[in-house]
Structure 1
Amino acid sequence: MSEGYKAAELSDKLREGEVNANLESVLSDDPGVGDVLLACERADLDKESPLYEMLARQTSTDALRDARRSGDVATMNTATGLSETRREATGYDMLVSALKPAAQQLLIKGPKGSGKTTKALDLARHLHTEFDGDLSVLTNIRGPDEHDDVEYADTLSGMLEWVRDTDGEKLVIGDEWSSTVNAHAHGGGEVRASFSRFINALRKGEGGSTRLIVIGHEHDTDIAAIVRNQSDVVLEADGKVDEGLIDCATVYEGWTDYQRGEPWIKIRGMRDVPESSAWGADTNYFATFELDLDNPAKQIRKGKLIEDWEQYQDDEDADDAGNSAKDYRSCRGEKTDATDCGATVKHESGYCHAHRSQWDGEPDPRLEED
């Protein structure tokens, strides 16, 4: 581990110029103490309470005693000159502040198992706090939508409708976006063009206030071009639990700096978000994302989804097939997680464009019912 990380770790033990508590249980060498600190946090126990203060000071004392025994004086001196709070000392506050401006876009990338999802949710949690709770969040990750200020959507239309109809400061967290785009990109550039229109529409939400946190992949070529090129900040997870780097990340000011290998800051102490937390992700759930708009050029105008976007669903396909049905129906297809699609269609198949491959050639039986 680098000297920068070691210095930041020791600086975590200091606040307001004196030896004080380590307020993060993840940094405790004693699993028992760490678990109690985490339980205190979950219970919203006042951090100035005698119990919390006693446990935190014990953790701080143990850590600094180990540093003294190892003779790591240089690191201790460096630590005492850093910022007063743990997050500032580790660069975390700098990262959260970088996400506050309107329409900021963060890309989180790294190998599988490096905690990309929990890093995204931890950042969302802290950004929500920075806005004193006046931040609405949308995501296609199951779990955090149980929070009062978090909603779930996993379609182009659902996300754009939310951005269009939600007032105030907003944040959208997207997972598996690039995987979906890559899976449908074999037909030419139409899918990528639609996705680019979608990304730009998200960022141009009401008041230009929608921020994006996009979870990417390890390999650059697996990340959609617009996600790479338009990212204002790129966070690369440094490694996995067994490498001792799960809480560490390297941050770049944009994709160009990432390609040049010119980091902005290094961060340690990024916390896990337990599933039991209101911001925790369901560990048994895999994020899904559906490209359910058939004519984005007409359905997205002036940077937002139009109110009557459904009228353009399968418009050309319906004309070509000679479909005489005038009423719209819900797509009878299934998503990758086996749930119903529900997108509005009028094609004779009863399937939207994204699920047309499930059609066996027989007309939608609901047409006969009509």
Structure 2
Amino acid sequence: MLTTKDFIAKCKDQENVTKYYVNFDHATKKVCDLPENDRDDYYDALLRDPKTKSARLAITLGPVVKRHEHYVKKPLRFKNRKNYQSLLTNVQVEIKPRETISVLSNEYLQLDGVTAGIILPRLSLTDVGLTLVSTYIDPHWKGILQMAIVNNTSKPINLNSGEAIGVLFVFELSSEIEERLGDNHSNTSHHYGMNWEKIIETEEEPIPTKKQAAARTTFGSIENWLTEHQNKLYQAVGSVSILCFIYFLAGAVQDIRNFKSDLKSVSEIAQKNQDKLSTSIFTGSQEISLDKNQTVATIKVKINQKVRSNPVILIDSNHTNTGLVIAGNITSKVDQTVKEITFTVRSNNPQPLAQSFQFKWILIP
């Protein structure tokens, strides 16, 4: 393995193609290039930086991330792409529970034929439940670096643009890889040669993918649509409340004798609409188990969710057993608040072996 000092010495060598530099400065929000005229000064300053360790280099979060499971709200989108979130203005990204996002580094790396690298996660992120998926860097590589981050917890976790997310280790091979083999990167790697100038100033796909995700289920489409349009739905309810208030207030002006009665009606309507505004979609993921020779099993889930008069429970399960049904029923409700939901799995035939079934559910108030 090369020490940082030895690797920087390669970068300073004008006859060597090796480079490592910050391609996007999150502080100034500008694309940067390696200052060729002051190359030695740049790398000397890097060595003096207290963040630079003896055998590893920092990898930091770039200003665009790709979400795979959730559409990005329009004000936060990068170039109006529904799966890309821009961190150029709002520098923080919230990684939802169990979510995986694809990210790019601020750093640009170019290697010669005898140098390779590997990116490993930072312990400080792993301690809070975030995992950076380890990845390798081949000889003759050039470009910014693509990685994936997974939130393994049940709580959302925030990351900021420019925050350190991984560490780069470089090492020297026992023999040189031919340059013609390195040229094959452009055919085999979907992000070879990528840099922040291309991403920000052109219509280049920031994080292209070779493998396409499976088609969304009906349940997933409903959940995404409700999540994306929830604020608009609530705003519409609020607008109706305002119109109702104006209507009844005008009636009170016309008939002063019924003013108190009309005012009371307005208050009641406003309260009802406020109750509507206070309800929201509630989702969850559960696991239910059927023991050997068992045909029915139930689990109870405690919640405290305000609903309207006819709430609906939808269930989405990826099991393929046609003789098995999973259903959910509200078993405890106080006034307009659901306190408990009971989920039941039923099988037409006794199970030959104990099995567990995972499913998602959504409570539409």
TM-score interval for Structure 1 and Structure 2 normalised by the shorter chain: under 0.3
* Greater relative contact order (CA < 8 Å, ≥ 6 in sequence): 1
Bigger Rg, structure 1 or 2? 2
More helix by share: 1
State the TM-score, normalized to the length of structure 2: 0.22
More strand by share: 2
State the TM-score, normalized to the length of structure 1: 0.22
